Structure 1
């Protein structure tokens, strides 16, 4: 099971996400490092699990504000061999294109290959229609879809949950009310998505408490899991090289 550490950004600092109640998020208190500086926390997370991918949720952008471009630039400079999966409330592919242009140089892999270092995550809560979703997710290998739900309700004006033809190769199953909760992963939803799209790479999010939960999630069909609180609280063991 691949662990993908998560960095939740709000107003230039890292916060602890709890159950998707974004207005209540507080600056992170981590067992891995001191403070809530994004670069410091990102380095600690990446080093702890030897990650090559970091999931970044820009909560300013997700709540209608501007993307924290300066912070994203700092992360790219500080972590030259790490790819960022960026969830910044992209309304469509053009919105990500504008951000990519604003970020400018330094978006290719450090090895010199053309692999993008910033990969767009299109959240179902931010896609306004099926047509917008289909256009935004047309790059099946490059784009990532986050299927969002909270409290049993689908956050999905475009109908992405119901239409597997929209799903790219990588799909995040995001149960927001379990994020930071230690209530355990939503295995039933994961199994349903695995049944409907057996060839997709499914990435779970929310609820992981320990290594046993990761094993159960893998058995249910997850290839990777987005994790923050379980790492900060050292509920998961560090990974070796």
Structure 2
């Protein structure tokens, strides 16, 4: 199982996410880096985990406020090949970006603004369509056909799927899912309560050959081991890394053990 670090962006800072209560998110205080500036935090997270990807939530965009394409462009350039000193021929790094994409045109416009600010060497931007923001189910198919390899995030609160009523039933059906699906439990994010394995296992059991990624609740290496045993392809983690409760060896050990 891979550990995928998480960077939550709001008002030009990396912030600490707690239970999805975005109005009260504050700039991060991290044991990894003495700043809340996004680029140093991102590099520290990637270095601490040796991860192949970074999950980025542009919270301004998700909350229908100002999006942050300039910071995302800087991240894409900075993280083009973060492991090149260890793996000189490593593949381009991926940024999994949730920016509140409602449909395919909004995704395309947002990624075009980022691309316009990057040069030839940059990380691959992979769009994440969160069920809480999605207005059009065909966005996933169109993004797939255009070569973006989209990820669907099935967002939950109180173990209930957060989605527009007209989309909720279709989103619960595996036929609508792309090859990678995140099971996001907002109640568990930064809550120090452990991962919601019940919701994860319910979705994983329906997934077939898809890669199912958990999100929220990992506190320490025992939680990480439990998540790996559940069959997760990867798990999104932030607080335990910033607080030093997961060390580099814990993150890389989980990947090596599966």
TM-score w.r.t. length of structure 2: 0.85
Tell me if structure 2 keeps the 8 A contact 1:123–1:145: yes
- Rounded to whole Å, the distance in 1 between the matches of 2:105 and 2:19 is 30
Q: Which runs of 5+ in 2 are unaligned?
A: 82-92, 254-258
Residue in structure 1 matched with residue 5 of structure 2 by the alignment: 5
- Name segments (4+ residues, structure 1) moved above 3 Å: 105-110, 129-141
For the pair 1:72 / 2:72, whether they are aligned, the reply is yes
Per the alignment, residue 166 of structure 1 pairs with 176
- Distance between the aligned counterparts of 1:9 and 1:141, measured in 2? 22
Residues 1:156 and 1:211: Cα distance change in structure 2 (over 3 Å): same
| Count of residues paired in the alignment | 236
Whether contact under 8 Å (2:127, 2:148) holds in the other structure is no
3-state secondary structure, aligned to 1:101: helix
Greater mean alpha carbon deviation, residues 124-133 or residues 46-55: 124-133
Matched, 1:199 2:199: no
1:231 is aligned to: 241
How is 1:109-148 mapped onto 2 (pairs within 5 angstroms)?
117-132=124-139, 135=142, 142-148=149-155
Give deviations 1:157-199, integer Å, cap 9, x for gaps: 1225421111000000000010001211111111111111121
Tell me what 2:85 maps to: none
Contact 1:140 1:169 survives alignment (8 Å): no
Give 1:205 deviation, angstroms: 0.4
After TM superposition, the structure 1 stretch with the greater mean CA deviation from structure 2, 126-135 or 177-186, is 126-135
State how far apart, in whole Å, the 1-side matches of 2:140 and 2:28 are: 33
RMSD: 2.1
2:160 corresponding residue in structure 1? 153
Task: Report the counterpart of residue 113 of structure 1 in structure 2.
Answer: none
Hey, what does 2:96 align to over in structure 1? 85
Confirm or deny that 1:24 pairs with 2:35. no
2:97 is paired with a residue whose SS is: strand
Kindly state the Cα deviation for residue 128 of structure 1 after the two structures are TM-superposed.
2.0
- Mapped to 2, the partners of 1:107 and 1:177 lie a distance apart of 38
SS at structure 2 position matched to 1:104: helix
Assess if the C-alpha contact under 8 Å between 2:18 and 2:189 holds in 1.
yes
Distance 2:76 2:62 in 1: 20
Cα deviation for residue 66 of structure 1 reads 2.9
